[in-house]
Every structure is written in structure tokens, then in C-alpha cells.
Amino acid sequence: MHNRIAVFRAERELSRKELAAAIDVNYQTIGYLERGEYQPSLDLAFRLAELFCVPIEAIFSRTPLPSLAQQLYGSDQPTRQVPT
């Protein structure tokens, strides 16, 4: 199972302990989830989605998730326009 928990956690400036407290799990569970070493229950997936205010599919996928840069810019690296 692939996920973007670390991305959403960083975006909201939450530590693993803060996120764990917010969804009522042990902070080590967050590390296991982020590394893909633990598959969440459906209940836990819903709690994360509700906390981050996004659909479950924005956090979890059975296939690798494209990078956010790729989704936004169509590649892994945004292209910069250099003034001439």
C-alpha cells in the first residue's frame, strides 16, 4: 500500500506524535504507515482522510502514487523560465 501521509503531515507541520494523538494511535504506527510497513484498517484510513479533509484516495493507493510535482507540472521537476 502506497501513501502520502508524510506529505500531508509535513504540509500541516505535524510531528508524528501530534498526528498519532489526533487520530488516537501510537506514534510509532505513523512511522510504520509512512514507510509502508503497516496497512491501515479502513477505520484508520477514514480517520486520516477526515483529519486531512481529503478523500482516502488522495492519501492511499494500491499502486505507486505519482509525485505531486508530476501531477502539478507534468514532470518530476518544474520547468523554470530563465529571463534572457
pTM of the model: 0.78
Q: What is the DSSP letter of 67?
A: P
Q: How confident is the model at residue 80 (pLDDT cuts 50, 70, 90)?
A: low
Phi, psi dihedral angles at 3 (to 5 degrees): -155, 165
Tell me the per-residue pLDDT of 14-48, one tens digit each, with 9 for 90 and over: 999 999 999 999 999 999 999 999 999 999 999 99
Q: How confident is the model at residue 65 (pLDDT cuts 50, 70, 90)?
A: confident
Q: Which CATH architecture fits 2-73? A: Orthogonal Bundle (1.10)
Per-domain residue ranges of the chain: 2-73
Sign for the CA dihedral angle at 11, 14, 35, 38 comes to negative
* Residue 60 CB neighbours (<10 A): 19
Give the Cα separation of 56 and 42 in Å (integer): 9
